């Protein structure tokens, strides 16, 4: 049976990740030594596009890189993952975005992003690539490009009748409330949910925090909780709790991005958000067992093999 797959568009960031592995995350004023650093293609938008491509989606990336070697590497990585890169803008005189990432021995990461060309992605760029939004069925966003551009593009996507998925990371200091109006599926993690709702003790007040977002007009909220699994409040299936798979985490980089992409891939096949969340949970479980951003993202045959072993 042939499965019709809707077209997916990612609008967002592309970064070169400079990753260092450390025994522990340094405290304020602390200097620590390490003998390992890796250059790995990343950026939340590019990670989502990469994951969708490797999972077999019809996927296009819209974003900006500089006219430097890092930009070349990022575009080539996406091409190899099956992503249409016709929407990637080469910005002369700009540096490609860079993410400085430390990963501790528990697999947890802390990240500082130098936006570079990502900060130049404008509303005018969205207008110039309007045909990409028109051709897509599902459009994914994150917040590593200017919030005004996300708001403008999401509004356009909604006016065109598209399904809009937002991973609200990193949460900007002044999150634009208007953006909620254009989002069909919001996927924060626990920390981002706290930042969006100002709700303390999130682990015991999930329904309250999610209810705050649904009161803003969002019909589907999905919260990733790491080792505590996934909390889903969906328009069609109601509230569900999906347990985490038991794996030994090495590096959580790109796990959330891969989750969002995998969810979009299953939605593109016409399946429910709950089915999409279950599959996304499985994909992200593989990602955390590997190091790096795009270097950790599996291809579809790897996911199939993994699931058959459970």
Q: What is the DSSP letter of 17?
A: E
- What does the alpha-carbon distance between residue 290 and residue 249 come to, in Å, rounded to a whole number? 8
Residue 40: strand, helix, or coil: strand
Q: Which of 58, 125, 184, 257 is catalytic?
A: 257
Q: For residue 257, indicate whether it is catalytic.
A: yes
User: The tokens of 144 are what?
Assistant: 């590593």
Residue 203 near residue 228, CB atoms below 8 Å? yes
- What does the alpha-carbon distance between residue 122 and residue 298 come to, in Å, rounded to a whole number? 31
- 69 C-beta neighbours (distance < 10 Å), count: 10
Closest-CA residue to 297 (of 82, 90, 11, 52): 52
- What does the alpha-carbon distance between residue 46 and residue 40 come to, in Å, rounded to a whole number? 12
Residue 276: strand, helix, or coil: helix
The upper half-sphere exposure of residue 229, i.e. CA atoms within 13 Å in the direction of its Cβ, equals 13
Residue 55 sits at φ, ψ, to 5 deg, of: -90, 5
- What does the alpha-carbon distance between residue 202 and residue 10 come to, in Å, rounded to a whole number? 29
93-122 exposure pattern, b = at least 16 Cβ within 10 A, e = fewer: ebbbbbbebbbeeebebebebebbbbbbbb
Which positions are catalytic? 257
């Amino acid at each position: 049976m042939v499965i019709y797959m809707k077209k997916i568009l990612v609008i967002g960031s592309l970064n070169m990740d400079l990753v260092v592995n450390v025994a522990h995350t340094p405290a304020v004023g602390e200097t620590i030594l390490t003998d390992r650093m890796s250059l790995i293609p990343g950026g939340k938008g590019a990670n989502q596009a990469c994951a969708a491509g490797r999972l077999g989606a019809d996927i296009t990336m819209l974003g900006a890189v500089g006219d430097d070697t890092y930009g070349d590497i990022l575009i080539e990585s996406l091409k190899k993952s099956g992503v249409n890169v016709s929407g990637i803008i080469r910005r002369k005189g700009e540096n490609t975005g860079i993410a400085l990432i430390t990963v501790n021995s528990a697999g947890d990461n802390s990240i500082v992003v130098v936006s570079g060309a990502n900060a130049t992605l404008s509303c005018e760029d969205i207008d110039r690539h309007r045909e990409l939004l028109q051709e897509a069925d599902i459009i994914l966003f994150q917040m590593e490009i200017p919030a005004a551009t996300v708001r403008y593009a999401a509004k356009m996507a909604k006016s065109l009748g598209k399904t809009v998925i937002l991973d609200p990371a990193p949460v900007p200091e002044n999150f634009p409330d208007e953006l909620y109006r254009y989002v069909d599926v919001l996927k924060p993690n626990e920390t981002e949910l706290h930042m969006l709702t100002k709700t303390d003790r999130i682990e015991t007040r999930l329904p309250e925090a999610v209810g705050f977002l649904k009161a803003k007009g969002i019909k589907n909220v999905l919260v990733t909780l790491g080792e505590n699994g996934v909390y889903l409040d969906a328009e069609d299936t109601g509230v569900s709790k999906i347990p985490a798979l038991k794996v030994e985490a090495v590096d959580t980089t790109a796990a959330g991005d891969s989750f969002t992409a995998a969810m979009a891939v299953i939605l593109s096949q016409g399946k429910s958000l709950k089915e999409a969340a279950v599959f996304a949970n499985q994909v992200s479980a593989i990602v955390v067992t590997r190091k790096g951003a795009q270097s950790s993202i599996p291809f579809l045959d790897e996911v199939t093999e993994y699931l058959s072993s459970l």
